[in-house]
Amino acid sequence: MQATILLKDGSKYDGKYVATRSFKNNEVLSSGSDPAKVFNNAKKKGARNPVIFYVPKKGMVHIY
């Protein structure tokens, strides 16, 4: 299985939610601390189904 890179410059978005146009088009449309606002801003910029994800801060512990 081939790895997919969602964001090339992730350190720029540490601790924020990010909206991209799609899984295949990783153009960042919006970012911020409120996922609903990030989503709505991406929709306003013409994304039909934006992909929203959180970029954790470097060194942050993750428990799944």
47, two tokens: 């994304």
* Short-list 12, 8, 6, 3, CA closest to 32: 12
Cβ-Cβ contacts under 8 Å for 18 (sequence gap 6 or more): 7, 28, 30, 31, 38, 52, 53, 54, 55
Q: Which has more confidence, 1 or 50?
A: 50
pLDDT confidence of residue 3 = 66
Name residue, tokens 């295949």.
Answer: 24
Q: What is the pLDDT of residues 3-55, one digit of tens each?
A: 666 677 777 899 999 999 988 888 899 999 999 999 999 999 999 999 999 98
- Does this model's pTM top 0.75? My answer is yes
pLDDT confidence of residue 57 = 85
C-alpha–C-alpha distance, residues 28 and 41, integer Å: 11
pLDDT confidence of residue 16 = 93
Q: How many residues does the chain have?
A: 64
